[in-house]
Amino acid sequence: MDLITLEKECSQCRRCGLCQTRTNVVFGQGSAQAKVLFVGEGPGQQEDEQGQPFVGRSGHLLDKYLFAIDLDRNTNCYIGNIVKCRPPQNRDPLPEERQACMPWLREQFRLLRPKIVVCLGRVAAQALIREDFSVTKEHGQFIDKNGTLFMATWHPAALLRNPAAKADAFSDFVALREKIAELGI
């Protein structure tokens, strides 16, 4: 199986109620050879409309941070989400929705085999790193899980609401660039 086949299968998913209100499945975007995987919580309205992750204002901010550390969503990293369909009113995905969608993310992970996973925000960090993970206290720290490094930082939408955190978030991206160089990826 490859990412294209997996995306086609995912586009037909009806594992949870989010499928009833979606416009598009937002599977992910990026290079199939990416060694850095960014994971958010789920698509918002613009992402649902366009079928791509992080395309609104928060996506533009993410793209600026990626550019600053020589990453690009189309060439050398991959961006996905915990859930592939938009939760109503952009609420946090419910535990049963996360659980229903997690096999899709696991398969993306298996196919990509990333060396580094960056969790964008609390929901992703608590789903992938640890249930009690605190982004405000533990952001930018690399955690080895079975040979893959995980790190969390603020979700770009949270940075738009709280610009005072942008400097810390940018420091996390600088640390990511240094870790990529250190690992030679």
Residues 79 and 30 sit within 8 Å (Cβ to Cβ) = yes
In this structure, the dihedral spanned by the alpha carbons of residues 46, 49, 54 and 56, taken in order and rounded to 10 degrees, is: -30
- Residue of 39, 63, 179 whose CA lies nearest to 115: 179
User: What pLDDT is stored for residue 90 in this prediction?
Assistant: 87
Whether 172 shows a pLDDT value over 90: the answer reads: yes
Region 118-124: mean pLDDT is: 98
Say how far apart CA 126 and CA 56 lie, in whole Å: 24
Mean pLDDT of the chain: 97
User: What pLDDT is stored for residue 144 in this prediction?
Assistant: 98
Region 76-91: mean pLDDT is: 96
Say how far apart CA 17 and CA 14 lie, in whole Å: 7
What letter does residue 73 receive in the DSSP assignment?
T
The predicted model scores a pTM of 0.97
pLDDT digits (tens, 9 = 90+) for 149-163: 999 999 999 999 999
Say how far apart CA 136 and CA 66 lie, in whole Å: 20
